[in-house]
């Protein structure tokens, strides 16, 4: 398998494989959404198959739920699980304080609810997701369909007073129609280039009528597992300030990964 992967896919795979080792038998685990999180679900499925690992997963999207069931992970709702031991998810960007931008896959609302319902959050990411300052990746906000244009205008007006470098925004589309989230809402992507005060921006956006949630996760992530294209992995823990490096071994072939294309 390793010879068929691009360097970025190798980075995603190794950080997912390493993060899967944090999961213990009997845990209730939040399962993220996106390409890197899909690797994680496959890695956990491999442990379920080969080691007899038994966990219950709380997926953050319908597509993650489908994949989890496909690889043999028991799936329950967050209400049924109540409190989670651990959530493992990807990120579109993270900074040195482990603040995140999430929502590139459109599941930011579920992802944020699941992450904040967990005792610990681990972010898995390739090295290209690390930034000095958040904002190069568009910041998504989830908004209700009612009064969509009015909410969009209110967001644009609010950005004028925020500490950001850019103030362009766009409604996310799915072909010729607005993108629809699992909750039936829409997403406005904010092209800010640089976010000077992420905490203030997150609080301000969530006060706007029509805005359900934003893609900034502040003081939620505990650990980042960072993958590199050569198979190296760094595990960074913000609570104890440690950084541990190791190199993951690639399997040559594995049926669980043969059809992974996202």
**Residue-range domain boundaries for the chain:** 2-129+219-238, 139-212
**Per-residue confidence at 41, pLDDT binned at 50, 70, 90?**
very high
Q: Please tell us whether the domain made up of 2-129+219-238 is placed in CATH 3.40.50.1360.
A: yes
Measured distance CA(27)–CA(257) in Å, rounded: 23
What pLDDT, in 10s, does the model give residues 192-222? Answer: 999 999 999 999 999 999 999 999 999 999 9
Task: Write down the pLDDT at residue 253.
Answer: 46
The CA radius of gyration of the chain, in Å to the nearest whole number, is 18
**Per-residue confidence at 5, pLDDT binned at 50, 70, 90?**
confident
Q: How crowded is the C-beta side of 30, counted as CA atoms within 13 Å?
A: 29
CATH of domain 139-212: 3.30.70.260
Average pLDDT, the chain: 94
Total-model pTM: 0.93
What pLDDT, in 10s, does the model give residues 90-146? Answer: 999 999 999 999 999 999 999 999 999 999 999 999 999 999 999 999 999 999 999
- Confirm if 227 and 15 have CB atoms less than 8 A apart: yes
Active site residues: 111
Task: Write down the pLDDT at residue 219.
Answer: 97
- Confirm if 187 and 123 have CB atoms less than 8 A apart: no
């Amino acid at each position: 398998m390793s010879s068929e992967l691009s360097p970025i896919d190798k980075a995603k795979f190794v950080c997912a494989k390493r993060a899967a080792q944090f999961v213990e038998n009997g845990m209730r685990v939040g399962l993220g959404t996106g390409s890197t999180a899909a690797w994680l679900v496959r890695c956990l499925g491999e442990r379920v198959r080969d080691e007899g690992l038994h966990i219950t997963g709380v997926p953050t999207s319908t597509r993650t739920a489908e994949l989890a069931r496909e690889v043999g992970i028991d799936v329950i709702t967050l209400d049924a699980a109540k409190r989670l031991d651990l959530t493992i998810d990807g990120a579109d960007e993270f900074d040195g304080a482990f603040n995140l931008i999430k929502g590139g896959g459109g599941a930011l609302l579920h992802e944020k609810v699941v992450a904040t319902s967990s005792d610990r959050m681990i972010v898995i990411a390739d090295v290209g997701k690390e930034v000095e300052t958040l904002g190069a990746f568009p910041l998504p906000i989830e908004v209700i369909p009612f009064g969509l244009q009015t909410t969009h205008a209110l967001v644009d007006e609010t950005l004028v007073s925020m500490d950001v470098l850019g103030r362009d925004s766009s409604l996310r589309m799915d072909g010729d129609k607005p993108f629809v989230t699992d909750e039936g809402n829409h997403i406005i992507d904010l092209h800010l280039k640089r976010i000077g005060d992420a905490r203030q921006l997150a609080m301000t956006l969530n006060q706007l009528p029509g805005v359900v949630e934003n893609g900034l996760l502040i003081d939620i992530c505990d650990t980042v597992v960072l993958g590199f294209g050569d198979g190296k992995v760094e595990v960074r823990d913000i609570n104890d300030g440690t950084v541990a490096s190791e190199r993951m071994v690639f399997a040559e072939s594995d049926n669980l990964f043969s059809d992974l294309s996202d």
